[in-house]
Structure 1
Amino acid sequence: MKKYLATLSATALIGLAPYALAASSTDLSVTGKITPNACTLSLSGGGVIDIGKYSAADLDLHVNTVISTNPLQLTMACDGPTPFALRSIDNKHNTESTTGWFGLGLSNAGEKLGFVYLGIKQTLADGQAAQAIKSEDEGVSWSKGTNLNKTVLVSAGNPADLETPIMVKDLTMDLEVSTFIAPSKTLTLTDETILDASATIEVVYR
């Protein structure tokens, strides 16, 4: 009986050993780069657009109504030529009435009021004409861009090559900010309602 138990024990240990060794350690690798350059972003007018008051009676019942279109200029100044991208963050996320754009907040009844669209009209890179380009896969691939939104990265490319971001020291983007209100049939507007869009644009160093 004792001999049988010893043999069984040894067989069990040999069978388990390869699995125990395989799970006994794992590795963590942290990689990255520190760029010597820093970039500063700014928006004309401090990034504030006041569209004033708009009558609920002038809203379309069935489709989005554009109640305001305003010019806005974004500038980026870097210490030196820098590979970059711009990421847009919606500070009113989940209040946009159309997916992908920037929310306008909620009505007093908790309804999505509409959205803000940031179109890119013109791009200058170090004083030369450039083309805004976008990436929908975190910078793996690029194509022509026409707007800033929270689903893409935006950079600048040579008009003859829209698949490759260029390094930029000084960037200027002329934007057009359009404010849309959702169809009035989806909103309760019996009281004065505040429109409250807020977005953050940040530099991603690449």
Structure 2
Amino acid sequence: MKNHLAVLAPMLLISATPNVLAASVVDLSVKGLITPVACTPSLSNNGLVDYGKISRQDLSVDKRTQLRDQMLDFSLQCNGPARFALIMRDNRDGSAIVNSEIYYGLNLDNSGNKIGLYSLNFDPASTVVDGWSQVYRTDSTTGGVAWSSSSSRSIPIGARSYLGFTDMAGSSAGPVAIQNLSSRVTLETVIAPTSELDLSADVQLDGSATLDVVYL
């Protein structure tokens, strides 16, 4: 009986060893593509929109107040044709009074109240690309895996959706290669009701966002 147990013990140990080893390793792959193409975006007035001093009397006590729209010239120049999309990152994340990827925050007042929000809108009709006769926009909520049918309607740029451009209407093939793009973009800003703000001191509008070029 003892001999029988002595033989079984090493057999069990050997058969279990491969399973232990298989569960103790994992593979890591690092991939990417370095491309010689580079695109440089720019905004007029260094991307600064200043509303100056706003009197509380010009704001609604119990409703949101939309300030006058502001225009900025946007341009993007590449050293060669490139497929790309645009996306914007909110540097004041969590401070917009509406929770949506197309709205960006104006930071908080002295009591931690949300001041308002803004959006940046692209209009294909105000956009010029290379020698195209007309520009259409297309967007992707899947990180570029699938694209919406291209359209001439304006759209706010999102924090989680890619915005690209094509020269074909109704195309879902995504953006096409572009070398030079220029557009006039519209900034829309909304201030929270004054009843929801601490106006015992000046309230500083302090919106900040980063517009990123994503190479496809």
Quote the residue 2:138 is aligned against: 133
1:48-106 CA distances to partner (integer Å, 9 max, x unpaired)? 11111111122223332111311111111001100111121111111111122111010
Report the secondary structure of 2:16's partner residue.
Answer: helix
Over the residues paired in the alignment, what is the CA RMSD in angstroms? Answer: 1.8
Give the Cα separation in 2 of the matches to 1:94 and 1:24: 40
**Which 4+ runs in 1 deviate beyond 6 A?**
none
- TM alignment of 1:72-87, pairs within 5 A: 72-87=72-87
Give the Cα separation in 1 of the matches to 2:91 and 2:194: 24
Report the secondary structure of 1:5's partner residue.
Answer: helix
User: 8 Å contact 1:133–1:146 — kept in the other structure?
Assistant: no
- Which amino acid is the alignment partner of residue 147 of structure 1? P
Aligned residues: 206
Give the Cα separation in 1 of the matches to 2:131 and 2:186: 20
Deviates more, 1:157-166 or 1:111-120: 157-166
Give the Cα separation in 2 of the matches to 1:162 and 1:150: 23
Identity level (%): 37
What TM-score, normalized by structure 2, do the two folds share? Answer: 0.87
User: 8 Å contact 1:68–1:180 — kept in the other structure?
Assistant: no
Give the Cα separation in 2 of the matches to 1:58 and 1:151: 33
Give the Cα separation in 2 of the matches to 1:44 and 1:29: 42
**Structure 1 position 24, deviation (Å):** 4.5
Quote the residue 2:7 is aligned against: 7
Structure 1: which 5+ residue stretches go unaligned?
none
Quote the residue 2:38 is aligned against: 38
Deviates more, 1:192-201 or 1:176-185: 176-185
- TM alignment of 1:116-131, pairs within 5 A: 116-121=118-123, 122-128=126-132, 129-131=134-136
**Structure 1 position 159, deviation (Å):** 4.1
Quote the residue 2:111 is aligned against: 109
